Amino acid sequence: MPDELILLEQQLRHHDDRYYRQADPEITDADYDALRDRYLALCAARGHTPYRAGPGNDLTAGFVSVAHRVPMLSLEKAADGEDQSAAGQLTAWVERTRKALGLDAPLLLLVEPKIDGMSVSLTWQDGQLVQAVSRGDGVKGDVITAQVLASGAVPARIPVTGTLEVRGELYLPQSAFAALNDRLRAAGEKLLANPRNACAGMMKRKDANEVKGCGVQAFLYHVAWADGVAGLPNSQIEVVRWLKTLGLPVNPHLTACTDAASASAVCAGFAQQRSSLAYDIDGMVVKVDDRRFHERLGATEHHPRWAIAWKFPPERKPTLLRGITVQVGKSGKLTPVAELDPVLLSGSTVSRASLHNFPELARKDVRVGDTVFVEKAGEIIPQVLGVDLARRPADAGPVVPPTVCPACASPVLADAVFIYCPNPACPAQVRERLRHFAGRSAVDIEGLGEAVIDQLCTVRNLTSPAQLFSLTAEDIAGLDRKGAKSAANLVAALQAAKSRGLAKILTGLALTQVGEKLAEDLAGRFGSAQALLDLAARHAAGDPEPLAILDAMDGVADTTARAVLDQLANPAVRQVLADLAAAGVDLTAKLKEVRSVAGVAGKKFVLTGTLPTLTRPEAEALIVAAGGTCVGSVSAKTNYVVAGEDAGSKLTKAQTLGITVLDEAGLRALMEG
């Protein structure tokens, strides 16, 4: 059995990745906090330097990252616990703050809802929005200017001179979230867990046009930086009102309080009325109102000392755990699922709930026959939170992780967190892989949802993606709820999907560590599946050059390069690609339209720093569309370096080598020929 400290750290890293980078959490915030608290307690007891667990980061491959002028920190939390209530913790914080300031008089506080959204930093220069940046890891964040502008969540221009950096939350109202999940449900795709993660996913779309009309909105509340800006108040509540006069969206629910008791009453009152709001909140924020005190109080590495978050307790209900089944995912991952006595929770009846993984199940000590507490994460995904030990039956024994796959009986493999079925022909894996292949993020086959794929696997014995493209209208018309017209439509959709291109196919194959961005990069770099397969064959034969070629690609680590080549050398993967080619599927990269521009075509460009209005992907797209090439490092063969703010070492090297350096205006001028 792995050491508990090591196991907890591995689980925290996994959940940070699911929450911050994949926007698809597996556990509730309360469960995450419990894991983290136990981990930090063990670290303290053993003198172990902790992994910086929570908050994680939302930095995403394919986006330009820039340093925050002022770090975007998390907040200290006040929450009901075994030792002290949230009200008691808030009182202690107020007294600690008054003492730090040397105040005998009451401390004026501002209480406002804590929006459950995506943190963002917005900079206007002389009234023009020039940069929007996600929280990232708190020190640096991703530039999402194009996405924010496309969403319409904030105005592109405001009546102010100077430089103004304002922070707030992007969020998806419940009505927009419900409409989005309705569309996913109709398409037979996986539902999103909550509006927060849906919003984060929207704002990290590479194509900003996909964000238009999605319903993302914003509440702004904090001025992080101002230079040459007149009229900025010293009171935090007056700052919010001032932001409103500029035409910026602010939350109307602001309450001034003079002591901890009245602030606690406001927080507790909002816990009762949160369901009446049109957007999600997960607590309240209490701030020192006088902004001049903020600098005096300062901050820790983790949080500012002038604010604290009051966390709402999660809604939960008890029910009986009748059994535990095991689901098999597309990668072979085995996930335990609780089979429950039906219970009404957040407006719907719940009879199944995720148990995430077997170490998590063991940590909670969940057993068949237990009375368990169930909660809906984000009002959508049912999860088991814990056990009522006082009601445990005498004969309830610990759950033993499976040693064989429940779908195909293959002996399982295990790492510190998950158990896997290693059999690629496992029928459960086949079904899940086909669902992924047909999904919107991959080949995007309209009309081929989960229910249709389940029937095709059962009735038509489909086992591979290539077999989809040989289906006839007669094959489909015999399925449940598929008449002649819908069958013809699906056949047409399958024919259209043949020309999606290599990047979509690579994404659809669900190869380990190959997401949309890497699939696009591989397709663009090598042009065809055959070129990739030839490279993998050389790697399998012991040639070191293929690994070096992939290692040289931007954002590709050595472990990722090895995983890609090993999988493409696998006979089963090679057979799938061969079958797709035989079915008439295009396995070459989709070429983007190129309008050759003199001075750009055939030239190598390096981009560095932050440009005033263009994101890095936008600038790269302009260059490639004009016939140029973007590379990641500066060398004597580089023709131009396009440099923005905070350009760094690439700019220095370009100047040393005498390479032409362009700013954004220079790049645009070059594009005009």
Positions marked active-site: 114
Cα–Cα distance for residue pair 17/335, rounded to 1 Å: 18
Q: 379 with 346: CB under 8 angstroms? A: yes
**SS3 at position 360:** helix
Nearest to 200 by CA among 81, 53, 25: 25
* 93 contact partners, CB below 8 Å, separation of at least 6: 76, 78, 260, 286, 308
Structure tokens at 300: 């820790």
Cα–Cα distance for residue pair 464/460, rounded to 1 Å: 12
Sign of CA dihedral 49, 53, 57, 61: positive
- Cα R_g (the chain), whole angstroms: 27
* DSSP classification of residue 20: I
Nearest to 107 by CA among 309, 285, 286, 371: 286
Cα–Cα distance for residue pair 148/122, rounded to 1 Å: 9
Q: 356 with 26: CB under 8 angstroms? A: yes
**SS3 at position 56:** coil
* 356 contact partners, CB below 8 Å, separation of at least 6: 26, 27, 335, 336, 383
- Work out the end-to-end distance of the chain between its first and last CA atoms, rounded to an integer number of angstroms: 66
Phi, psi of 215 (to 5 degrees): 95, 5
* DSSP classification of residue 80: -
**SS3 at position 643:** strand
Q: Mind giving me the DSSP string for 118-175?
A: EEEEEEEETTEEEEEEE-TTSSEEEB-HHHHHHHTSS-SB-S--SEEEEEEEEE--HH
Structure tokens at 632: 């990641």
Phi, psi of 211 (to 5 degrees): -85, -20
Q: 414 with 420: CB under 8 angstroms? A: yes
| H or E element at residue 568 | helix 558-568
* 231 contact partners, CB below 8 Å, separation of at least 6: 242
* 7 contact partners, CB below 8 Å, separation of at least 6: 359, 416, 417
Indicate the burial class of 23 (C-beta count within 10 angstroms; 0-12, 13-18, 19 or more): buried
